[in-house]
Chain A
Amino acid sequence: MDNNLQPAALSAEELRELYRLVTAVRQLDLAAIAWQRQGIIPGYAPELGQEAAQVGSAFAMDPEHDFVFPTYREMGVALTMGVDMTAYMSTHKASWHGGLYNPVQTRLAPIQAVVGGSVLHAVGWAHGQTLAGNPGVALTYFGDGASSQGDVHEAMNFAGVLKAPVIFFVQNNGWAISLPTEAQVAGGTVAARAAGYGMKAITVDGNDAAAVVLATREAAAHARAGHGPVLIEAMTYRRGPHSTSDDPGRYRSLAEERRDEGADPVQLLADRLLADGIADDAFLDTALQDAKTNADAVREGVMALGPRPGREMFDFVFAEPTEALKAQARAWREESEHV
C-alpha cells in the first residue's frame, strides 16, 4: 500500500467540528423518535449508536467532487453534508419518496428504501468520473443485511473489474431487523469479501468518529489515485429498534444489549476531547445546546410542512411527460381538485 495515502491526523478544530456534528445528529435522531411518538411523523429509522460512523465517513468526503449514495438510515450523513434537514426529514413525514432536498446540489442521492439498491449506482457514477477524467469518488452506504443482496455482489465485482473509484461503506450494526450478523453474513464479516473482488478492505471501530474519518480519507485517497475501490466495514451497534415500528424485545434481551453495545460514540469523542485538552465542559455544553436548538428548528420546519399538492404526483414521472399522463393529470384535476 502507498504510505503517502495515509491521511494526516485530525486537527483540534476538526475534532471539535466532529463533536458538534455527532452531537447534532444524536439530538436530532432522539428528537425524530419523539416526533414519531407524538404523531408528527408516521415513522423513522433511528441510528442511535451509528453517529460516529455516519458523521466520520461523510466528513471525509470532498463535497465539490464526490457523491454520496445513502440508504434510509443516513440522517447523520445528510446533516454532515449540509443538507437542509427539514427537506431530508420530509421523507419520514411521508411527503415525498427520496426527500425534498436537491440531490444534485447537495451531492447526496435521494433516500433509498431498497436495501442494496443504490450500491450499483455508485459504481456507475464512479466509472463516469473515470470516463470524464474527473477526480470524484463515490461513497455508498449499506448494512450487513444488504450485503446479502445480489446487487451488492454485482457492484463489488463491477467496481473491482473497472477499478472504479468507489468506497463501499458497510455499517455493520449487528442486526438486519431481527437477524443477527452471524445468521446473515457467511464468513462472519463483510470486509472478508473484499479480497474476492480484488479490493482493499479496512475494518474500523465505528464508534470512534476520528478513526472513521481517517479510514475514509485513506480509502478516498486510494480510490482517487486510481487504485480501485475500497470496502470499509465500520463495526457499530444499533442500540434502539430497527425502526419506530420495531420491537427488539422479540429478538434480543436488555442484558444482551448491554453486553454487545460497546462504547457510546458521542461519549467516546467527548472523553477524548477532554482528555486531550481540546475541549472543556463549556464547549461540550454549547455543542449540546446548539444541537437541541437545531433539532427544535427542524421540528418547526417539519411541522410546517403541509401536505404536497396532489398535482405534483404527475409532475416528475417523466422528463418529457406523455400525452396519456397529461390527460390523466387533467382528469384528476377536474375530478379531485376543488378550488
Chain B
Amino acid sequence: MQAALNRALAETLAEDPRAVVLGEDVGRLGGVFRITDGLQQRFGADRVFDTPLAESGILGMSVGLAMAGFHPIPEVQFDGFAYPAVNQIVTQLARMNYRSRGTMPMPVTLRVPSFGGIRAPEHHGESLEALFAHVPGLKVVSPSSPHEAYHLLKHAAAVPDPVIFMEPKSRYWQKGDVFLDDAGPMEGAKVVRPGKHVTLVAWGAMVARCLSVAELAAEDGIEVEVLDLRWLKPIDAEGLAASVARTRRAVVVHEAPLTSGLGAEVAALITERCFDTLRAPVGRVTGFDVPYPSGDLEDEYIPNIDRILFGIQRVLEYRRG
C-alpha cells in the first residue's frame, strides 16, 4: 500500500501543476512511513516541502495555499497529532467555501496515517473518523487495499472539497495488485465479498479482518457479505441498503470507540431503509470507550476475529421477544 500511495502522489504531482505536498519530514526523509519517498527529489522543494513542526500551522497554511489557487496535500505524521490541527480543520478548512459563498473552494486532501495495529505508543494510533465525519464541509475516505489506496488518493486529490484521507497504517506494508486501468467506481461502498446471510460493514484495516472472518464463517456454512464502506462521509446509504436488503442482517465493525461512533450512523441508515426486511437489530463490534490502548492491550481492543464471529452469531440467533 505504501508504494501505491507513493505512486498516486507522484502521478498527482505530475498531472496537476497546482498540487503541493507539505508536512513534517515529507521532503528529504520521505515521511516517517515513506509515503512521500523520493517526491521532493523528483518534483523539487517548491512542490514537496517540509514545514516546521506545527499541525495547526500546516493546515492553516494549506487553507491559505488553497485560497491562492493551489491543491495542497498536507500530511500529519500520526492520527493523534491531528488534534492540534482540529481548530484549523473545523473552524477554517471545512467552512471557507461556505463563508466565502463558494468563491474560495478548499481542494485540500489531508493524509492521516490512521487506526492502530502497529503497537505504537500513545497518540500514534487513533480512529478519528466520527470526529471528522461529523463536521459539515468535510469529506472522509479510507482505503482498505493497495488498489483502493492508489485510486482513492488520486480521486480525493481531484475532489474540489476538503477530504480527510485516513490511511490504515497497519496495512502500509500489505502487498496487493493495483489495477491501473480499471479503477472501478470511486464513489460509494463496494461489496468485496458477496454472501447471503449477513452483511459485515467495515472500512480501512477492518475490511481485511472481516474478509478473514468471512472465510472462517464459510466453513460453518455461513455466507458473509463484506461491504467496504470506503467513504465515511458521504456514506453510501443506497449501497448499504442494497446489501442489507439481500442479507437482511448487518454487523458494523470499527476500531473507534462504540459510543457515538460511525457504527451508530450506519445502523441508523440501515434501519431507516431496511426496517421491514431486517431480521435482527444491526449489530456493532467496535473498540471500547477507552483511550486507544498501548501495544500490549491493542489486540484486546481492536475487534478481533472471535469478537466479530460472536457479533455475527448474535444477529443470526436473534429472536423477536
A residues whose Cβ falls under 8 Å from a Cβ of B: 67, 96-98, 100, 102-104, 109-110, 114, 117-129, 131-132, 138, 150-151, 154-155, 157-158, 161, 315-320, 322-325
Q: Which of A109, A121, A131 contacts B60 (CB 8 A)?
A: A121
Do A320 and B64 touch (CB < 8 A)? Answer: no
- Among the listed stretches B89-97, B124-132, B303-311, which one makes contact with chain A, having 4 or more residues with CB under 8 Å of it? B89-97
CB contacts (< 8 Å) of B103 on chain A: these are: 102-104
Asked if B7 lies at the interface with its beta carbon under 8 angstroms from chain A, I say no
Do B69 and A117 touch (CB < 8 A)? Answer: no
Complex Cα–Cα for A55 and B242 (A): 60
Q: Told that A124-B61, A128-B64, A158-B51 touch, could you supply 11 new A-B pairs with CB distance under 8 A?
A: A97-B95, A98-B98, A109-B104, A117-B91, A120-B59, A120-B61, A123-B64, A124-B60, A315-B101, A315-B102, A325-B234
Give residues 59-74 of B contacting A (CB, 8 Å): 59-70, 72
B13 to chain A, nearest CB (A): 13
Do B105 and A124 touch (CB < 8 A)? Answer: no
B256 to chain A, nearest CB (A): 20
CB contacts (< 8 Å) of B68 on chain A: these are: 67, 124-125, 128-129, 132
Asked if B143 lies at the interface with its beta carbon under 8 angstroms from chain A, I say no
In the assembled complex, 12 residue pairs joining A and B whose CB atoms fall closer than 8 Å, in A order, are A100-B101, A117-B92, A120-B64, A121-B63, A124-B61, A124-B68, A125-B67, A154-B54, A154-B57, A161-B52, A317-B136, A320-B161
Do B57 and A120 touch (CB < 8 A)? Answer: yes
Do A128 and B160 touch (CB < 8 A)? Answer: no
Q: Which of B59, B100, B107, B233 contacts A98 (CB 8 A)?
A: B100
Asked if B21 lies at the interface with its beta carbon under 8 angstroms from chain A, I say no
Asked if B20 lies at the interface with its beta carbon under 8 angstroms from chain A, I say yes
Chain B interface category by residue count? 35 or more
Do B234 and A324 touch (CB < 8 A)? Answer: yes
Do A97 and B99 touch (CB < 8 A)? Answer: yes
Do A125 and B97 touch (CB < 8 A)? Answer: no
Give residues 64-90 of B contacting A (CB, 8 Å): 64-70, 72, 87-88
Do most interface residues of chain A lie in helix, strand or loop, or is the interface mixed?
helix
Complex Cα–Cα for A121 and B106 (A): 12
Do B65 and A318 touch (CB < 8 A)? Answer: no
Instruction: Using A131-B46, A318-B137, A320-B161 as known contacts, say yes or no to A155 and B101 having CB atoms under 8 A apart.
Output: no
A12 to chain B, nearest CB (A): 37
Asked if B271 lies at the interface with its beta carbon under 8 angstroms from chain A, I say no
Do A98 and B67 touch (CB < 8 A)? Answer: no
Do A110 and B159 touch (CB < 8 A)? Answer: no
A8 to chain B, nearest CB (A): 30
Q: Which of B65, B92, B106, B233 contacts A127 (CB 8 A)?
A: B65
Which B residue's beta carbon lies closest to that of A119? B60
Which A residue's beta carbon lies closest to that of B57? A154
Complex Cα–Cα for A140 and B150 (A): 38
Complex Cα–Cα for A311 and B57 (A): 34
B132 to chain A, nearest CB (A): 14
CB contacts (< 8 Å) of B160 on chain A: these are: 319-320
Asked if B206 lies at the interface with its beta carbon under 8 angstroms from chain A, I say no
B20 to chain A, nearest CB (A): 7
Q: Which of A124, A161, A315 contacts B65 (CB 8 A)?
A: A124
Q: Which of B57, B67, B69, B102 contacts A157 (CB 8 A)?
A: B57
CB contacts (< 8 Å) of B63 on chain A: these are: 120-121, 124
CB contacts (< 8 Å) of A102 on chain B: these are: 101, 103
Complex Cα–Cα for A125 and B68 (A): 5
